[in-house]
A and B are shown apart, each in its own frame.
Chain A
Amino acid sequence: MISMVSLAIRYLFSRKRQSLFTLLGIFLGAGGFVVISGFFLGFRFFFIDNLVNNSAHIFIQARQEFLEPHSLDESFFKNETKHVFWKSIPAGEKDYHRIESPQGWYERLDSDPKIEAYSPQLVVPALFSKGGSPIAAGFTGCLPEKQARVNTVAANMVEGKFSDIGGGGNRIIVGQELLKRLGAKIFENVMVTVGVGKQTPFQIVGTFDSGNKRSDLQAYGPLADVQRANHTLNLINEIDVRLFDYEQSSTKATTWSALSSETIESWDQRNSSIFTMFALQAMMRNIIVFVIMLVAGFGIYNVLMMTVSQKMKDIAILQAMGYESWEIRLLFLFQGFLLGVVGALLGLIAGFFICQYLQTLPFGGRPGATRPPGHLTIELTMGIYLQASLLSMMSALIASYLPARAAAKFTPIEIIRGGAV
């Protein structure tokens, strides 16, 4: 057996150029797999990391409700009549969505050991203006000490502190994007229109930059002040929840949905389009690697087939001196295997260094952002290397199987009589 292995190595070395060329295919396959996987998985990791760190994990929102033809009967006519006929039948969305029993939710969340923190909110669309034309943006009323624990807004403060809105007194914290559009500065007053109410002045006491333009077009204020401005005292329409383990978010969300009338979404359900993109990326990577491996495998197949036909004499003489078919098969399988192992190894090493280099490239950030850009995230887990080596070895072995079988197919006499001499 050892003799077949060493003979296989001799064969490979006697055809240096062909061997190198075949190596190149496996090398590109394995290296490509590592780099592309590292890049895509790193990208995915970066996104998920951003999502789960920057935002809450589960969002409990008041269900959108619509008016029924008779849902206004009672408010207008109390008990006066049994049958009310409307000329214009009530329809459309109800004015206020509310979480029906926040107290019940608080109790449930407080008693659940998997919950790290939660923050009751009143989230309303609002118009902000500072003299010029009003800017539409989200306005979140919250309890700052609770809000600070469910997302990173408090950590992303550029000016002021998030707790500055704690004492009430119509103070708000606005995102950099909103600040820019308003043309406002810290400690200036802006007029805020919420719902059907009249304008209410709020003072900007801080700004934040989350790194995401959309989330920066937002303002946070004290819950009570926003409720008052909205003329909905004691109403909340959202509870944001953070778990200790974000991976359990969707399970929790689904369980809660079944138990309550609120609309409950986890971070991954809310961003499901991104996951579709990840799946697409994975597919793309698989296709690229499959094609490379196919080409590499075909190279091995070709070279070995050629070797088999050139070495017919050797096969006959080996069999004549007592070597068996399995040893002849091994002689050729091992050549493919060796090309696979060496090619994969070189590919993994090259892939590793390319990944190291890619990691130093700047990534993230945007022009004019206050936060410095980060670096490209490249995933370098063992799993990728393991997969890459398995894949290359598999393709090498599969590619050498047919030539190996062809080599052992003939008896020495068939070879001698067949005119191989």
Chain B
Amino acid sequence: MSIVAKDVGKKIGDPPTQILTSINFEIPDGQFLSLTGHSGSGKSTLLYLLSGLDCVSSGSVIVDQVDLSRMKKKEVAHFRNEKIGFVFQFNYLIAELSVLENVLLPAKKYGQEKNRLELAKSILEKVGLIEKLNRLPRQLSGGEEQRVAIARSLVMGPKYLFADEPTGSLDTGNGEIVMKMLKEVHEQKGTTVILVTHEPDYARRAQRQVSLADGRIISDSGPSLELSLPV
């Protein structure tokens, strides 16, 4: 099983501008991949396409042998809920809900919040927020908010974790904490992690490094590379 991008192209806007061109690669399950490139090179756009948040303009994205563009809306929603964890660059927490409620929100979609409660607490414990699970987002620091967002993306035990510059707005300390979390889910749960980052240091820790420029892949350290540097 894997994520496969076949000749993926994406146009946005009116008039349409080509954002991504002929993206071809395969991410085998359990890989830790980093995606780098200048701002505006199309990293976020690619992440949205691979995670089923957005639709391709040409080509296809095939996840676990299913073409995402062939899925019905309902199926895509279910797919995202069950298999995809997504960490946005900005902290997308719901201001009216407590830390724990925010983390459990994906579980609520199919009435799973009871089953996931223990897992949610253990994740919050790991990220050092167990004391603050009844706080509201405005009572947290930026780093704490991002950790909650990561906890939320992990609560459904996703097979694929996408992180779009999760450390972008954090200081080094908090950045390290986030990187440690990603490393942990990858190693302990075998989760496929796709990390967009500007930090060459963080990118180097991935098993495979892909670079984008002007919507094209300009370098790919290769699907078979199994090098894993210590965190």
Contacts and interface: CB of A to CB of B under 8 A. Distances in A.
Interface of A: 2-3, 7, 10-11, 13-14, 313-314, 316-325, 327, 411-413, 416-417, 421
Contacts of A327: 109
Contact of A317 (B73, B81, B92): B92
8 contacts: A2-B111, A7-B94, A11-B96, A313-B92, A316-B92, A318-B105, A322-B82, A324-B74
B54 interface: yes
Contacts of B106: 321-322
B95 interface: yes
Q: How large is the interface on B (under 10, 10 to 19, 20 to 34, 35 or more residues)?
A: 20 to 34
A3 B95 contact: no
Contacts of B74: 324
Contacts of A417: 12
Closest 8 CB pairs of A and B: A322-B81, A3-B108, A10-B96, A317-B92, A321-B106, A413-B54, A322-B80, A322-B77
Contacts of A416: 88
B97 A10 contact: yes
Contacts of A421: 90
B225 interface: no
Contacts of A316: 92
B71 interface: no
Given A320-B86, A413-B48, 8 more contacts: A3-B105, A11-B96, A317-B92, A321-B80, A322-B109, A323-B109, A324-B73, A416-B88
Contacts of A10: 96-97
B140 interface: no
Interface in B69-105: 73-74, 77-82, 86, 88, 90, 92, 94-97, 105
A313 B97 CA distance: 14
A323 B77 contact: yes
B53 interface: yes
B159 to A, nearest CB: 14
Contacts of A320: 53, 80, 86, 88, 92
A416 B51 CA distance: 15
Contacts of A322: 77-82, 106, 109
A321 B105 CA distance: 8
A196 B46 CA distance: 111
B109 A412 contact: no
Contacts of A325: 73
User: Which interface residue of B48, B109, B152 has the most chain A CB atoms within 10 A?
Assistant: B109
Given A2-B111, A323-B77, A412 B97 contact: no
B157 to A, nearest CB: 14
B54 A314 contact: no
Nearest to A324: B77
Interface in B38-83: 48, 53-54, 73-74, 77-82
A359 B12 CA distance: 68
Contacts of A319: 77
A10 B95 CA distance: 10
B94 A314 contact: yes
Contacts of A412: 53
Contacts of A14: 95-96
Contacts of A314: 92, 94
Nearest to B73: A324
A237 B101 CA distance: 86
Most chain-B Cβ atoms within 10 A of its Cβ — which of A317, A318, A322, A416? A322
B164 to A, nearest CB: 10
Contact of B96 (A2, A7, A321): A7
Nearest to A417: B12
A11 B95 CA distance: 9
A14 B95 CA distance: 9
Contacts of B53: 320, 411-413
Contacts of B86: 320-321
Nearest to A314: B94
Contact of A411 (B12, B54, B96, B111): B54
A412 B74 CA distance: 15
B51 to A, nearest CB: 8
Nearest to A317: B92
Contacts of A313: 92
Nearest to A9: B96
Contacts of A411: 53-54
